[in-house]
Chains A and B, each alone.
Chain A
Amino acid sequence: MTDMTAPASSRVLDVTSDRARARIRARYRKEARFRAYGLIAIGFAALFLVVLLTDILSKGIPAFFVTQATVPVTIEAADVDPNGNRKVSEIAKGDFAAALRKSLVAMFPYANDRASRRQLMGLFSSVAASELRDAVIADPNLIGKQVTLPLLLSDDADLFFKGGITEVQVQAAKGVATPSGTEGNVEIVSSGPDFAVELGDVKRQISAQLRSVRRDAEANNLLKARYQAQVQDLTAQLAQARAAGDKDAAPALEQALAKATSDLESVAANGTRLEERMLQLKTKASQPAAAEALDPTLPSLLVRINGGIVKATEVAGDRIKGTVIAPLSSAAPAAAGSWSTENILTPESSRRLGDREVVWLEDLAAKDMITNAFNWSFFTTGDSREPELAGVLGGIVGSALTLLVTLGICLPVGVAAAIYLEEFAPKNRFTELIEVNINNLAAVPSIVFGLLGLAIFLNFFGMPRSSALVGGLVLALLVLPTIIIAARAALKAVPPSIREAALGVGASHQQAVFHHVLPLAMPGIMTGTIIGMAHALGETAPLLLIGMVAFIVDIPHGIEDAATVLPVQIFLWSDLPEVAFRAKTSAAIIVLLLFLFVMNGAAIMLRKHFERRW
């Protein structure tokens, strides 16, 4: 030690100077930042999951409840049982829709023309007549009496009561209103500021409309300029090609030029339309105090007065002009607070229910006839084109049958393959080939399995299209690598002492494996199988290719019947235009997630319960 000389350039570690301290602080800051990044990453994933689940739940939970109207319906024998012999087959053919229609018209006597009657019936689902029929068939004594049972409303009416169609604001009025009549076109004068407030609102809405049309016109002009440039460019290119005598390019250019010219024309036409509308709205907005005519692009204004309803067609500062929707009981002046103004905020042109239908529904609600019930039929009916009648039973049964086929194939085959690879396979090229194949198959995109199913099972073997059998086969091939890998891991976890003990008492290799190792590896294999089945339950793409895109109403009875599975049902519903289907799709997703939750939970519980520490 004493012979050691100090190195020529000895550097003393600098940890106390200000520079050093600053450097160390910077390093700690970097450390904190790095750690924060990790937390932010996890937070991002968790946040997304929460947002996703909340969105699905909020959209889907309303679909588990249906709105019903308990309207008293008089069942007249003339409609239902004309021959009077109370035979079930005769009653079944009765016109219950007519009975419902008559009772509705009795409730709203002013809605007696054809269009109104159709609109009234449109508020109820097409199945309401069947509900009446079932009640009368169950108790034929109801013929000639009044039946009050909850009848299913149509999807739009249902959506209205869930707040999905429009918001309605009702204000009690402050002035004294004097109607000019009780029917037809009337004028209502108010002594208070009610109509002035409404007029102000209308003017503001017109300005908003003007702003939005102006924005659209600007965007349209930009588009027009782009298309103009394109047309010019293509014309120049075409002229060049023609001059150069280029035979190949000319037809393609001509086609592109034709398309661009037609695009330009339609955009220009759109531009003219927008200019006209802007002018219209400008004229309207430039007269602040004048009366304003209401059209369907503006929110609707209704006045409830003297037991009747007037829909405003023109608003001025102190009066409105309108048409009577429900007749007033008298033309006497109404005191302040005894009449009200009602604003239906979504314009009539943007909603699926007109003002009269909204009024009728509000009337039914005011008469306490609207009830909410749990949507049991969602779980007991198959698919339907009517949103309020569509159910997931077809999807659930189809999924169950498909998973049964999948399980029946991939569990025995997978466990057998795992046993062979783990216990009996010699280490040669053949075994390596099998193992490489299994690892590769685990990473192949699922749609390729659909191609396999289409080409081989459907086209070559001629199996029934869209059946649970073919679906189960395709999914079995998809899930097989996962099960083999999980089973191998489970078999590997069993300690060699078990095998050796069995061999020691005289068992053959196969007996040792099948009688001793396999039962001990069973929990691990079961866990892997359940996880594989959960994966198969959520698969959609390969099943689309084997034909499960058809609209299937019947519940499948066997594995060769045309079926659909729950994820495909979700996919098909998500494409449909009716707004009510969005809630149904979310509800079906909730059902699917519940099934997956249960399956994964069972797998985890199984693993925890049977886990053995060797």
Chain B
Amino acid sequence: MTLLYFGLLIVAIAVAFMVGRNRAKALKANGSSLHSLPSYHGAFVALCVGLPMLLAFIVWVPTARMVIDNRAIAQLASDVQPKDPLSREARLRDIDRIAAGGITDQQLAAYPESVVQAGRSAGTMRSWSFMGLVTVGLVLGALGFHYGLQRISPEFRARNTVETAVKGLLIACSFVAVMTTIGIVMSVLFETIRFFTKVSPSEFLFGLQWSPQTALRADQVGSSGAFGAVPLFAGTMLIMLIAMVVAGPVGLFAAIYMAEYATPRFRAWVKPVLEILAGIPTVVFGFFAALAVAPTLRSLGLSMGLDVASESALAAGLVMGVMIIPFVSSLSDDVINAVPQSLRDGSYAMGATKSETIKRVVLPAALPGIVSAFMLAISRAVGETMIVVMAAGLAANLTFNPLEAVTTVTVQIKTLLVGDQEFDSAKTLSAFALGFVLFFFTLTLNVIALQIVKRYREQYD
């Protein structure tokens, strides 16, 4: 139905554009000189038709839905009236399903009589509402069409009006980024606040036990939900540290070699290798880590007498480190290349070897950028999901031994939300609380990284 309305909208806009443009062309042919090109007049008429129709849609659809839903709920018999928001939503879903049609009589028999009635009447009301929307839209469109055509005249500054509208559209599109951030914060914040009404923030942030079971029945065994997230933070830090131990030196040295020592031919061959590594999806890395790296590490460890878990933090951290190498390497490469040649030349003139120059002149000059690159890499490692989901475990283990299985914040977010859980339980809400912590941690790291670059970067002329 939405598709139908938008199809109508597009047709109306196209027709309006052509008629408006032809009208303006006719005026031009008659000898009068127009202020704006005919296509702008056409665009103006199209706007006069399209905007009201769009507004009608935006206003009508949510209002109609709310009204119809309330009518439907009110129609239900008193014994099936929903008592709280969740069961209300469930009832509305049932009514939706019945109203949509295409449901067999056998399936209908599963619902109480009044629900079926409410569903049927909701279906009829929906069809009426759609026809009403189309009528209103067409009427508004026709009015807009008339108004637009009326305005067409040689002195009319169509271009300016259209350009103002286009500018508004561009601003709206730019605002999408801000809306996205607001959306993320809202979506995570509300659920987190709901979570903190069930579990205290201090238990969440400082508790040492993570076993997010919530009792489905009052007498269920093992229903003590412990929501202490410290093991998750520790696991995330452990895997992140292993990843940075791999990615930091390797990425930095690779960048130094590429920037200082490599011949153009070498660079032409090696840059694609790093770009390919950067382009491989993380699910492939996760598969490789789970099926090739982890068993190899385990058998290696067993042959040395160490008890390596089959889902060790070492395997996940190692592969994650390799995934981050191109990231560190390309950022460091940019910063090292930005150091002016005059500093290097001065150092060579004093008799320093190339490595001494790099260690004592270039790297200190590029240090803010490199530190910032490391912080962005840390932020990437902390937020990575697929590799740890496939290669690290679910056991919330508070340990710093890389040979044991640990779990991270992102793994728990995925596990908690991908099961069949009632949306209101503390278990599911804890996932949002974890997401909140993750978002703000990465945001803070990014802001600090940016500030470091801004404040300590040397301005070379």
> Could you jot down 5 A-B contacts, CB within 8 Å?
A42-B258, A56-B284, A444-B443, A541-B410, A596-B280
Binds A, one of B114-122, B133-141, B249-257: B249-257
Q: Which residues of B contact A (CB under 8 A)?
A: 159, 163, 166-167, 169-171, 173-178, 180-181, 183-184, 186-188, 190-191, 249-254, 256-258, 261, 270, 273-277, 279-288, 290-292, 307, 322, 325-326, 329, 353-356, 358-359, 376, 379-380, 382-386, 389-390, 410, 413-414, 417-418, 423, 431-432, 435, 438-439, 442-443, 446-447, 450
- Asked if A112 is at the interface of the complex by the 8 Å CB criterion, the answer is no
Do the beta carbons of A456 and B417 come within 8 Å of each other?
A: no
When distances are taken between beta carbons in the complex, the residues of chain B under 8 Å from A585 are 287
Chain B residues within an 8 Å CB radius of A445: 379-380, 382-385, 410, 438-439, 442
> Quick one: closest B residue to A420, CB to CB?
B170
In whole angstroms, what is the CA distance A414 to B173 when docked? Answer: 7
How many chain A residues touch B (Cβ–Cβ < 8 Å)? 79
- What is the CA–CA distance of A574 and B285 in the complex, to the nearest angstrom? 12
Q: Is the CB of B254 within 8 A of A41?
A: yes
CB contacts (< 8 Å) of A28 on chain B: these are 353
**CA of A28 to CA of B251 in the docked complex: distance in angstroms?**
24
Given contacts A41-B250, A510-B163, contact A538 B282 (CB under 8 A): yes
- 10 more A-B contacts (CB under 8 A) besides A55-B288, A571-B283? A38-B257, A49-B277, A56-B287, A414-B173, A445-B442, A452-B184, A452-B188, A480-B180, A538-B279, A585-B287
Contacts A48-B322, A508-B163; is A30 near B355 (CB within 8 Å)? yes
CA distance A46 to B274 in the complex (A): 8
The verdict on A589 contacting chain B, using a C-beta distance below 8 Å, is: yes
A341 at the interface (CB under 8 A from B): no
Task: State the CA gap A33–B292 with chains docked (Å).
Answer: 32
Q: Are B174 and A425 in contact (CB under 8 A)?
A: yes
Is the CB–CB distance between A45 and B170 below 8 Å? no
- Cα distance A571–B432 when bound, in Å? 23
Is B443's CB under 8 angstroms from A35's CB? no
List of A residues within 8 angstroms of B384 by Cβ: 445
Interface residues of A in 542-568 (CB under 8 A from B): 544-545, 549, 567
Across the interface, which residues of B come within 8 angstroms of A549, CB to CB? 418
In the complex, which residues of chain A have a beta carbon less than 8 angstroms from the beta carbon of B258?
38, 42
Which A residues touch B358, using CB under 8 A? 34
Chain A hits for B438, CB < 8 A: 445, 447-448
- Compute how far the CA of A35 lies from the CA of B357 in the bound complex, rounded to whole angstroms: 13
- Residue in A closest to B385 when the chains form the complex, CB atoms: A541
The answer for the CA separation of A600 and B257 in the assembled complex, in Å, is 25
A-B interface, 4 closest residue pairs, ranked by CB to CB distance from nearest: A445-B383, A38-B257, A538-B281, A455-B187
A592 vs B277: C-alpha distance in the bound complex, in angstroms? 14
Flag A25-49 by CB within 8 Å of B: 1 or 0 each: 0011011011101111110111011
A88: CB under 8 A from chain B?
no
Residues of B within 8 A of A324 (CB): none
Q: Is B410 a contact partner of A439 (Cβ separation < 8 A)?
A: no
Partner of A35, one of B261, B277, B329: B261
| Chain B nearest CB, measured from A415 CB (Å) | 8
Q: Is the CB of A539 within 8 A of B281?
A: yes
B174 and A417 within 8 A (CB) = yes
**Separation of A439 and B454 alpha carbons in the complex (Å):** 14
A49 and B273 contact, CB distance less than 8 A: yes
List A residues 476-513 near B (Cβ within 8 Å). Answer: 477, 480-481, 484, 508, 510
User: How distant is the Cα of A416 from the Cα of B166 in the complex, in angstroms?
Assistant: 10
- With contacts A440-B443, A452-B187, A544-B418 taken as known, whether A433 is within 8 angstroms of B176 at the C-beta atoms is no
- Contact between B287 and A447 (Cβ–Cβ < 8 Å)? no
Contact A45 B287, beta carbon cutoff 8 Å: no
CB distance from B179 to the nearest CB of A (A): 9
Q: Which A positions have Cβ atoms within 8 angstroms of B?
A: 27-28, 30-31, 33-35, 37-42, 44-46, 48-49, 52, 55-56, 219, 412-414, 416-417, 419-421, 424-425, 433-434, 437-441, 443-449, 451-452, 454-456, 459, 477, 480-481, 484, 508, 510, 534, 537-541, 544-545, 549, 567, 570-571, 574, 582, 585-586, 589, 592-593, 596, 600
The reply to whether A44 and B273 contact each other, CB–CB distance below 8 Å, is: no
- Whether B279 pairs with A600 at a CB distance below 8 angstroms is yes
In the complex, which residues of chain B have a beta carbon less than 8 angstroms from the beta carbon of A567? 281, 283
Contact B254 A447 (CB under 8 A): no
Q: What's the Cα separation between A46 and B257 when bound, in Å?
A: 14
Interface centre among A425, A451, A484, A574 (most CB of B within 10 A): A451
Instruction: Report chain B residues within 8 Å CB of A455.
Output: 186-188, 190-191, 432
Cα-based distance from A118 to B424 in the complex (angstroms): 49
Q: Check if A480 sits within 8 Å of B177, measured CB to CB.
A: yes
Q: Give every chain B residue within 8 A of A596 (Cβ-Cβ).
A: 279-281
* Chain A residues whose C-beta falls within 8 Å of the C-beta of B325 in the assembled complex: 45
Flag if B446 contacts A440 (CB, 8 Å).
Answer: yes
B170 touches which one: A40, A44, A419, A534 (CB < 8 A)?
A419
Q: Which residue of B lies closest to A44 (CB)?
A: B250
Q: Are B174 and A434 in contact (CB under 8 A)?
A: yes
A465–B75 alpha-carbon span in the complex (Å) = 28
CA distance A51 to B245 in the complex (A): 20
Bound complex: CA of A198 vs CA of B384, how far in Å? Answer: 54
Instruction: Report B-chain residues with C-beta under 8 Å of the C-beta of A419.
Output: 170
Q: Is the CB of A27 within 8 A of B356?
A: yes
Do A459 and B423 touch across chains, with their CB atoms under 8 A apart? yes
Measured CB to CB, the nearest residue on chain A to B325 is: A45
Contact in complex: A570, B287 (CB < 8 Å) = yes
Given contacts A52-B288, A592-B284, are A421 and B174 in contact (CB under 8 A)?
A: yes
Which residues of chain A have C-beta atoms less than 8 A from B261's C-beta? 35, 38
Q: In whole angstroms, how far apart are the Cα atoms of A570 and B287 in the complex?
A: 9
Q: How far is the CA of A49 from the CA of B323 in the complex (A)?
A: 10
- Contact in complex: B273, A45 (CB < 8 Å): yes
Closest to B180 in A: A477
Kindly list chain A residues whose C-beta atoms are within 8 Å of the C-beta of B249. 41
A416-B283 contact in complex given A446-B383, A480-B177, C-beta closer than 8 Å: no
| Chain A minimum-CB-distance residue to B209 | A252
CB-based contact A448/B435 at 8 Å: yes
Q: Which residue of A lies closest to B93 (CB)?
A: A462
Name the contact of B432 in the complex, choosing from A27, A40, A434, A451 (C-beta under 8 A): A451
Whether A593 lies near B177 (C-beta < 8 A) is no
A49-B276 in contact (CB<8A): yes
CA separation between A454 and B307, bound complex, in Å? Answer: 40
Q: Are B435 and A570 in contact (CB under 8 A)?
A: no
A538 to B281, CA, bound (A): 5
B292 CB, min distance to chain A CBs, angstroms: 5
Across the interface, which residues of B come within 8 angstroms of A589, CB to CB? Answer: 283-284, 287
One of B273, B355, B418 near A545 (C-beta < 8 A):
B418
Question: What residue of chain A has the Cβ atom nearest to residue B318's Cβ?
Answer: A48
Chain A's closest residue to B322 (CB) is A48
- B183, B277, B376: the one within 8 Å of A443 (CB): B376
Q: Which residues of A contact B181 (CB under 8 A)?
A: 437, 440-441
Contact B414 A441 (CB under 8 A): no
Distance A150 CA – B170 CA, assembled complex (angstroms): 61
Give the residue name and chain of the B residue nearest to A412 (CB): B173
> Using Cβ atoms and an 8 Å threshold, which residues of chain A touch B359?
34
How many Å from the CB of A567 to the closest CB on chain B? 5
Q: What's the least CB distance linking B378 to chain A, in Å?
A: 11
Chain B: minimal CB distance from A180 (Å): 45
Distance in angstroms between the alpha carbons of A12 and B169 in the assembled complex: 74
Measured in the bound complex, the distance between the Cα atoms of B242 and A7 in whole Å is 55
Q: How far is the CA of A510 from the CA of B39 in the complex (A)?
A: 14
Known: A417-B176, A593-B280. A451 touches B356 (CB 8 A): no
Closest to B307 in A: A219
Residues of A within 8 A of B307 (CB): 219
